[in-house]
């Protein structure tokens, strides 16, 4: 039998107590990319198999939130919407927001939920929250289809700016994963984190310009507002798709930097906690 490994090139594995901050070992993560693929695929498959409404859930959540927002904020409170019909203004923000919020809450529970795997087999633990967040992309795509239909209905023609959309989706993914890494690692050690998560997402939604535009703020506050990574994502979506006057600028740069910071710090914290993971989970 041969499996492509020659006898004198055997890798040597050292097992030692870890000291201080652990390196991220991204190479190890790359080695396990097939596992990442199958875990993501399992999450998607199982989600749509187990729920009665299946794929419809991905649409119902943003659609109904949009209806409520349009009725109360757009209709009754007359919240400004940068000159765009309010319902599509809100929906274009809700689609990436719900992707972010679901990714965050699911990944923060992912480690505890995978205790069975973690205590029985080795693999880079980062695979678990990453696959959870990525699997949310399917829900995102379904909700996005509805957004396209709405654009058709309101006669909104996307410009070439729409090419930036993948970047903004990536930004939402990075932010979601970054916060998810922090929370999932904290959740292993402090189980009350899962009670905090719904509060965090609710609070975060109100400090993100979903029901209102960020143009209500004047500079330099608007740029500072970008410290909330979702501000950049949401306004980026509106700019790329609806032509809102919130194009790439200092605010989005600040949001990108903030997301990256959260992701990197989250990954290191996660790695640091990883060594005790199997003992406490």
Partner 1 sequence: MNDIAIRCEGLSKQYRIGMRGPYKTLRDTLTDAMYAPFRRVRSAFQGNGKPADGVDTIWALKDVSFEVKRGEIFGVIGRNGAGKSTLLKVLSRITEPTRGRAEIHGRVGSLLEVGTGFHPELTGRENIYLNGTIIGMKKAEVQHKFDEIVDFAEVEKFIDTPVKRYSSGMYLRLAFAVAAHLEPEVLIVDEILAVGDIAFQEKCLGKMTNVAKEGRAVLFASHNLPTVQHLCAGVILLRQGKTEAIGQPQDVIGLYLSEAANEGKVSLRGWTDRSTTGEARLLEVEIRNGQGDLTNRIPVGGSVSFVFRMEFYRPTADPTFGVIIHNTLGEPILDVRSHHSGFRPGRVSGQVIVRARIEKLGLYPGRYFLSPWISDSTAKRDIDYVKLCCALQVDPAPGPFGDLKLDSRWGKYWVQSDWQSNG
Shortest separation between residue 158's beta carbon and partner 1, angstroms: 36
With tokens 């940068």, the residue in question is 82
Closer of 12 and 218 to partner 1 (Cβ): 12
Shortest separation between residue 54's beta carbon and partner 1, angstroms: 13
Shortest separation between residue 41's beta carbon and partner 1, angstroms: 8
Residue 119 has which token pair? Answer: 């205590």
Closer of 34 and 78 to partner 1 (Cβ): 34
Shortest separation between residue 4's beta carbon and partner 1, angstroms: 10
Q: What CA–CA distance (Å, rounded) separates 223 from 209?
A: 13
Cβ neighbourhood burial of 129 (10 Å; 0-12, 13-18, 19+)? buried
Closer of 15 and 76 to partner 1 (Cβ): 15
Which residues form the interface with partner 1 (CB under 8 A)?
Answer: 1, 3, 5, 7-8, 10-18, 32, 34-35, 37-39, 42, 45-46, 49-50, 116-123, 188-193, 275-276, 278-280
Sequence-distant (≥ 6) Cβ neighbours of residue 128 within 8 angstroms: 39, 107, 110, 111, 114, 117, 118, 184
Shortest separation between residue 8's beta carbon and partner 1, angstroms: 6
Element (H, E) at 272: helix 250-274
Closer of 32 and 204 to partner 1 (Cβ): 32
Q: What CA–CA distance (Å, rounded) separates 79 from 92?
A: 16
Shortest separation between residue 102's beta carbon and partner 1, angstroms: 20
* Backbone phi, psi, residue 155, to 5°: 65, 30
Shortest separation between residue 79's beta carbon and partner 1, angstroms: 36
Q: What CA–CA distance (Å, rounded) separates 198 from 204?
A: 10
Residue 269 has which token pair? Answer: 């914290």
Closer of 35 and 137 to partner 1 (Cβ): 35
Q: Which of 235, 212, 238, 211 is nearest to 223 (CA)?
A: 235
Q: What CA–CA distance (Å, rounded) separates 178 from 104?
A: 9
Closer of 35 and 257 to partner 1 (Cβ): 35
Closer of 17 and 220 to partner 1 (Cβ): 17
With tokens 């991204």, the residue in question is 26
């Amino acid at each position: 039998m041969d499996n492509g490994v020659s006898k004198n090139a055997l890798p040597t594995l050292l097992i030692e107590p870890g000291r201080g901050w652990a390196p991220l070992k991204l190479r190890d993560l790359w080695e396990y990319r097939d596992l990442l693929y199958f875990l993501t695929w399992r999450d998607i498959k199982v989600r749509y198999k187990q729920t009665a409404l299946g794929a419809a859930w991905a649409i119902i959540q943003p659609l109904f939130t949009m209806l409520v927002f349009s009725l109360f904020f757009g209709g009754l409170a007359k919240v400004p919407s940068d000159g765009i019909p309010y319902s599509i203004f809100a929906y274009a923000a809700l689609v990436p927001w719900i992707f972010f919020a679901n990714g965050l809450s699911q990944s923060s529970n992912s480690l505890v939920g995978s205790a069975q795997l973690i205590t029985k087999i080795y693999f880079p633990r980062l695979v678990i929250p990453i696959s959870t967040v990525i699997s949310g992309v399917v829900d995102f795509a379904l909700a996005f289809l509805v957004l396209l239909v709405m654009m058709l209905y309101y006669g909104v023609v996307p410009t070439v700016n729409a090419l930036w959309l993948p970047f903004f989706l990536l930004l939402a993914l990075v932010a979601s994963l970054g916060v998810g890494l922090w929370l999932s690692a904290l959740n292993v050690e402090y189980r009350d984190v899962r009670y905090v998560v719904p509060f965090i997402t609710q609070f975060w939604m109100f400090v993100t310009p979903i029901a209102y535009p960020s143009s209500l703020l004047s500079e330099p506050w608007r740029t500072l507002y970008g410290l909330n990574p979702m501000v950049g994502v949401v306004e980026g979506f509106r700019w790329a798709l609806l032509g809102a006057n919130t194009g790439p600028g200092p605010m989005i740069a600040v949001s990108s930097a903030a997301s990256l910071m959260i992701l990197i710090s989250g990954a290191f914290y996660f790695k640091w906690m990883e060594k005790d993971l199997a003992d406490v989970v």
